[in-house]
Structure 1
Amino acid sequence: MKSAYDCVVIGAGPAGGAAAAITAEGGLETLLVEREQVPRFHVGESLMPETYWPLQRLGLTDRVKNAGWQVKKSVQFVTHRGTESAPFFFRQHDQRECSDTWQVERSEFDKMLFDRAAELGADCVDQTRLSDVQFDADGRTTGVVLKCADGQTREIDCKVVIDATGQQSFLANKLGLKEVNPDLKKAAIWGYYRDAVRGEGDNEGATIILQTESKDAWFWFIPQSRGITSIGCVGDNDYLLKGRGTPEQTFQEELDKCPGLKPRLENATRLGSLRTAKEFSYMTKQHAGDGWVLVGDAFGFIDPVYSSGVYFALEMGVRAGDAVVQGFAANDLSAERLGAWSEEFKQGAKWVRKLVHAFYTKEFSIGRFMKEHPEHRSNLTDLLIGRIFHERAGQMFDDMEKSIEKAKMSMAS
C-alpha cells in the first residue's frame, strides 16, 4: 500500500470490486480496501440475467460460467394459498445466452471480483477499516484514514473516493444524505438447507418467491450448487424481530404458515444456525460530490424480493468507474462529472421499486394482474431480467396502478 493514489475504493463487494477493476484498467492508481478477510460470507446469491453485461465488461463471463454455480433460468411465484405460477423462463423471452444467469456463492463471487481488480492493476487489501474520509476547506476529497490489519493507522492521499461500503453507507451517514423509506422497513431471517425439493428441468435453478397465508411475510428459495438451498423469510422489521420469540421460533412459525414451502423442506436438513438482518430500504439525496461518488448499497437499497442487488451493484460500479476515468481524462472531478450516470440509473431502478411496492400491497395479486393483462407479461419478464434502462420499461404501470386501486376498493367494500 502506497501513501497516495488517484482513486481509493472502499468496500470489496460487487460494486467496489467492479469500480476498482474499471479504474485500474483505465490506468488510474487504484486502492481497493475491504474491512473483512477475503473471501468473506455475504447474503444475496441470486443474480438477474442482465448481470451478464457488466460481467462481460469486466472480462469475467467465462470464469463465472466455469465456476460450477447453479444456473438460473427462471423465476417463479407461489401464492399464500400455495398456488404456483407458471415459471417465467428468461429464454422464452430472449433466446440469447445472456438470458441464463447464476445462483452464486457470494464469498467466491466477490473474491473473483477482488482478484480481477488486482489483475488489472489495483492494490487490493483486506482486513483494513475505513476510519474517515478527509476533505479540504472547499469540500473536495483529499484522502482517507485507514486502520490496517496490523493495528496501525495510515493516512492515504487520493483525488477520488468511491464509497462502496454497503449498508454501512459511510459517506451518506457522515454527510447526512440517507433517506429511509418508511414503507419498506423490512427484516430477514435466513439459513441454508440441504436436499430441499427444487423445480424440475430448466426450472431446477429457479428463484422462487413464496408468500405466507397472512401475506405478512414471504420466503425466498434460492437453489445453489452442491445440493444447498438458501431459504429466507422477509417481513416488516417490527413484525419479525420485535415482541416474538427467538429467530428460530419466528422462522418456524412463518414456515408453518407457508403452504408452498413446507413440502419442499420436509426431508431437508438445515446447515448451521439462522441469521438475521435488517433490510431497510433507503436512498441517498446526493450521490456524488467533488472527488467522491457512491455505488452499490452505499448509493441506495430497495428490497431483496426481485434479486436486483448484485446486478445494480455491478452496474453502478462499472458506470461510476467509467465516470472517474473520464473525469481524470478531462481534469474534472466535480460532483457533476462523477455522478453524471446516476439519474439515468435511478430512472431505470424506479421501475423495480414500483414492482416491489406492488408486491407488498396485500390486496394486489401479480398473478391475477397477468391474467387480466397478458399483454404485459413481456414487460414484467423484462423487469425480472433487469432490462430496465429503456424507454418502454415502465409501460405496464398505468394498468398496474389501476389494478391495485381496484383491488383495494374491492377489499374495502
Structure 2
Amino acid sequence: MNTKVENRYDIVILGGGPAGATCAALLAEGGKKVLALERGLTPRFHVGESLLPKCYPTLKRLNLLDRMKNSAFPKKYSVQFVTEMGKITRPFYFDEYIPHESSQTWQVERGDFDSILLEKAVENGAAIRTNAHVMDVLFEEGRAVGVKVKLKNKDGNDQIQEIASEIVVDASGQSAMIASRLGVKKSDPLLKKGTIWGYFENAIRDEGRDEGATLIMQTEGKKSWFWYIPLSNNVVSVGCTGSMKYMFGDSNLNAADVFARELAKCPEMQRRLEPSTQHGDFKTTKDFSYRATETVGEGWLMIGDAFGFVDPVYSSGVLLAMVSGEMAADAILDGYKMNDLSPQQLGRWNEEYISGLENFKKLVYAFYAPDFSFAKFFMEYPECRNHMTDILMGDVFKPGVDEIFDKMGEVLPPSDIDEMQMSNA
C-alpha cells in the first residue's frame, strides 16, 4: 500500500480513515491523481465500531457490499435503549421501517473496516502512504497549494518532502489540522463530554437477530450512559460517557475506578459483563464535540471528523465520515468538469451536510436533557417514532425528518457548570 510519493497530485487527502478513504476511492475512480496520507500504520486501531443502515448506499457505490456480507462482522438489525430506571425498551428494528436488505448493517473492528476502504481506494488507482506525518499545509496568497510531509524512506530514516496539489482535503480526524491551524475549531459548550471504554470477552449477548444490536444504557441518576457494541470473536466494545468534570474531575480516581463507579449504577450492564474478561486496558477521550466554523476555502476543504463531530451516542461518526467523503468527491469531480474549483463549488454540499449534523445534534441534546423523556414524548406524538428511527438509521438528510424537532421544541442539556451545581446541591 505504501507507493512511491511523487511531487505533484491533483488532490492530496490528509487522513486514511472512512472519510479520506471514501473520498480517495471515488476521486480515483473518477480519473483524478490522488494521494492519501495516513499518519498511522494499517490496520490501525480506532473506536467507533457501529455502522448505520444509511452507510449502505455508499458501500454499494464503492462496490463493497459483497465484501461486507462475506466478512465476520456481526450483523446489526436494531438499536435498543435501557432507561435510568433499568427498563429495557422495545428495540428499534430497522427493517420494520425499510423492509429491504439495506436496513441491516454491521458492527466492525475499525482496523479491518478502514483497511477495506483503503484497499478499495488503491484498487481504484489512488496512492496511499501510511506512517506519514503531515507537518504543514502549504499556502500561497491564501490558497492551499500542497503539503509538507515527513515520510520514512527505504532505510527507515525520516525524509521531508513537499507535495504540490490543486486541492487539499482535510480528513485528519479530530486533530482537524486545517481548522486547528486557522483557529476555527469550536467546541460545543453543551456537549463537553468524556468517555472511558474498553473491550470484554465472553460477555452475555442476546440471541438471534438481537445478537448484534447496539445497546445504549443510562445509569441511575442519568449522569452517564454506556454503549454495548458486539464485535466478532466474542468481544464487545463497552464505553461510558458523561460530562468531563463528572468523569475526570476526581484526580484520585483512575479510568478503571470511574468505570467501576458507573458500572455499579447500571445493573443491566453489570449482568452482561459479569462472566466476561477485560481485553486490554481502558482508553479515554475528552472534549470531542466540536465543529469547524469555516469548512472550505481556496484550494481546500474539510470532511469527516475534521469538519466536526457530534457525540458517540447515536453512532453517527462513520456514516457522516463516509457521506461527507462522497459528497466532497462529487463536488470536486463536477468542479473539474466545469473548470470551477472555487470554494463555492468545493463546498456546495456543506449546507445539506450541516443540516444532517444538526439533526443528530438536536437528538443528542434531547438524550442528555435531564427532564426530557423519549417515552413520554412518543406517547404524546406516536407519529414521531418513524422520524426517530430515520435518524437512528442515519437518514438525517431525508426531507421532513426534522419535523420531530418541531414537536419537541428546544431541548437543551445542562452545561458542565450546571451539572456540577446539580451534583453539589
Q: Distance in 2 between matches of 1:355 and 1:279?
A: 18
Q: Distance in 2 between matches of 1:332 and 1:116?
A: 27
Query: 1:17 — aligned with what?
Result: 21
Does residue 1:31 correspond to 2:21, yes or no?
no
Q: Find the partner of 1:112 among 105, 116, 119.
A: 116
- Retained in 1: the 8 A contact 2:365–2:412? no
Query: 1:355 — aligned with what?
Result: 363
Secondary structure of 1:184's aligned partner: coil
Query: Deviations along 1:329-381, whole A, 9 cap, x unmatched?
Result: 22221111101001011112211110000000011121222222222111111
Q: Find the partner of 1:320 among 317, 328, 335.
A: 328
Q: Distance in 1 between matches of 2:280 and 2:398?
A: 43
Does residue 1:384 correspond to 2:392, yes or no?
yes
- Retained in 2: the 8 A contact 1:24–1:120? yes
4+ runs of 1 displaced by more than 4 Å?
402-405
Does residue 1:148 correspond to 2:156, yes or no?
no
Judge which range, 390-399 or 308-317, deviates more: 390-399
Q: So what's the TM-score if we normalise by structure 2?
A: 0.93
User: Which AA in structure 2 matches 1:170?
Assistant: M
Query: 2:419 — aligned with what?
Result: none
**Aligned-residue offset at 1:402:** 7.3
User: Which AA in structure 2 matches 1:20?
Assistant: A
- Retained in 2: the 8 A contact 1:363–1:404? no
Task: For 1:298-313, list aligned pairs within 5 A.
Answer: 298-313=306-321
Q: Distance in 1 between matches of 2:211 and 2:41?
A: 33
Task: For 1:199-238, list aligned pairs within 5 A.
Answer: 199-238=206-245
Query: Deviations along 1:192-220, whole A, 9 cap, x unmatched?
Result: 11121122322111100001101111000
Does residue 1:330 correspond to 2:330, yes or no?
no
- How many aligned positions are there? 405
Secondary structure of 1:148's aligned partner: strand
Query: 1:163 — aligned with what?
Result: 170
Structure 1 runs not aligned, ≥5 long: 406-410
- Retained in 1: the 8 A contact 2:54–2:102? yes
Query: 1:4 — aligned with what?
Result: 8
User: Which AA in structure 2 matches 1:312?
Assistant: L
Q: Find the partner of 1:372 among 369, 373, 380.
A: 380
Query: 2:140 — aligned with what?
Result: 136
- Retained in 1: the 8 A contact 2:369–2:411? no
Query: Deviations along 1:229-254, whole A, 9 cap, x unmatched?
Result: 00000011111112240100000000
- Retained in 2: the 8 A contact 1:19–1:318? yes
Query: 1:281 — aligned with what?
Result: 289
Over 3 Å counting, the alpha-carbon distance change for 1:146 and 1:404 in structure 2 is closer
- Retained in 2: the 8 A contact 1:50–1:311? yes
Q: Distance in 2 between matches of 1:25 and 1:75?
A: 34
- Retained in 2: the 8 A contact 1:348–1:393? no
Query: Deviations along 1:79-106, whole A, 9 cap, x unmatched?
Result: 1111000000001111110000000010
Query: 1:408 — aligned with what?
Result: none
Secondary structure of 1:15's aligned partner: helix
Does residue 1:263 correspond to 2:267, yes or no?
no
Q: Find the partner of 1:45 among 49, 64, 78.
A: 49
Query: Deviations along 1:261-294, whole A, 9 cap, x unmatched?
Result: 1111111111111111114211111111111110
Q: Distance in 2 between matches of 1:243 and 1:331?
A: 57
Secondary structure of 1:382's aligned partner: helix
Query: 2:418 — aligned with what?
Result: none
Q: Find the partner of 1:397 among 405, 409, 414.
A: 405
Query: 1:69 — aligned with what?
Result: 73
- Retained in 1: the 8 A contact 2:80–2:89? yes
User: Which AA in structure 2 matches 1:148?
Assistant: L
Q: Distance in 2 between matches of 1:404 and 1:120?
A: 44
User: Which AA in structure 1 matches 2:335?
Assistant: G
Secondary structure of 2:325's aligned partner: helix
Q: Distance in 1 between matches of 2:289 and 2:354?
A: 14
Instruction: Determine what percentage of the aligned residue pairs are the same residue.
Output: 46
Over 3 Å counting, the alpha-carbon distance change for 1:403 and 1:283 in structure 2 is closer
Structure 2 runs not aligned, ≥5 long: 414-421
Does residue 1:291 correspond to 2:299, yes or no?
yes
Alpha-carbon RMSD across the aligned residues, in angstroms, is: 1.5
- Retained in 2: the 8 A contact 1:81–1:260? no
Query: 1:192 — aligned with what?
Result: 199
**Aligned-residue offset at 1:403:** 8.4
Secondary structure of 1:326's aligned partner: helix
User: Which AA in structure 2 matches 1:334?
Assistant: S
Q: So what's the TM-score if we normalise by structure 1?
A: 0.96
Judge which range, 59-68 or 245-254, deviates more: 59-68
